[in-house]
Structure 1
């Protein structure tokens, strides 16, 4: 995605905002309760381009043993999910870049694996809420440049970066985030030789290519009109979010390990950025993060862009180490 394209799309922001209203959306979303919402202004929600399900979520993916996978390069990022009593699973970003949501089940646990390229936000949720099992799709809408998901069961809309319902019957409901982390394919194989990896989907997509080439080097995110992060932090600098605290990745890469606020965060080199080069495997090294508590237990967290943290946690704490 070139800088010229970003500028052109940003110029059209006011035109898109004119169509940001339930009256305009109802034909596509007849079963969504727009009277029930946590959104202050409908102009916060913009079309990202594709229509409902234009980015197709995946359901019930197939898996292969890690030792049998040959398509994925060692430095490519994967989302690792290791639930007790089950082999660890890797969900490659080369697939999630094109699908953004995977609805899966591990044993008796329904899980929803999500990746928003525009915010670099990779989170896994328990798919149960209010006593129901939900499956999710992509609305094609953005709020603060972050993916707005929907559940097929109630047609409610959800904010991916927060895992919270924002429109419809499920407004205010929060999904339980599961501990997961992004790491290189090489690190996953080394740590989980008996692990499983999601097989390549049967869609006509150029898996392994990054359609957002150069995105994480821009100064301004796509379709974002909010305030920039404080403290002079670049909008598209990665930060590690744990609750309402954010640690800049540049600080963590320099220190390699930080222990404070009850968590230990470790950084190690070897993971390619999914949003840099035209081929994900050739992206610059941004490293991998592991977040654990004082007992060495993995903690739910996110590695997202600084602008998104500031947008969704405007009163959050910036862990600058000063």
Structure 2
């Protein structure tokens, strides 16, 4: 904006009465994206209605921000009178760092959520009355992003308890974990089915297809997921004095899990390479189909012993059979191949390694 002498001045947005600038910015941070603002910000969320107008019959009501709760209550009373139109106007001018006009505003007629304790109890009741319960948990953009490091692998507060209480109420529970990376999963052995969805596009439609059986979940784990944070082999992920040591050497990822398991360490909740579909498979003994100093080819017959067609990912791991003067993993992935077969059909998978281990 410009002053009377024509010079440019920075525009300063003034928070509405009763709402501090910090409260409003904090609310905007929480409400950006697809998640509902936290309970601790709900009062600010209601008060941030800068101007609320209600028209009923021939009258009009105007309300400032600090008075918006009474305005909403008045609107609720008027909407109960059939045939009387109600008009609500919301004016909101966000002030965001960097000047980016990104915000989400919600107009709600009734409170949707109760307290966390009330919602957990309601989830238990719904699960107990259902033939099959479906629980969706996962990370959000506030704790998982390409631009930040996660301080923990735990699910957000309350989600683990939600899963456990629903499982206790209904043993026929499917747990959906929607995240872009590993989270701690202490309960997979208790759940009949766990589905990892990896932030898919058109989440609802995709999930419905997989749960209904129209589509088979055919992925395999690219990482190892722990049952407890204490089981994770590597936690030093930030440089110290400008240096980050990879003390595990060649034992990175699943190799370190295998080395620790061979020494009596904990097993992961979901190991690298794991994945199930809607069919069953039998894998015959592998055979070396071809070999040279530059390449090894392994062939193996795979039979679909299930009731429907499906896909299977055959994986070949190799290990040394004699002692070595060099440090070697317990075993490591040589190659993998995807096969598809109908019930009763046998197909041959060929797995190639461009650089066989020596």
Q: TM-score range by the shorter chain?
A: under 0.3
TM score, norm. by length of structure 1: 0.25
Bigger radius of gyration, 1 or 2? 2
Structure with the largest fraction of strand: 1
TM score, norm. by length of structure 2: 0.23
Kindly indicate whether structure 1 or structure 2 has the higher relative contact order, using CA contacts under 8 Å at least 6 residues apart: 1
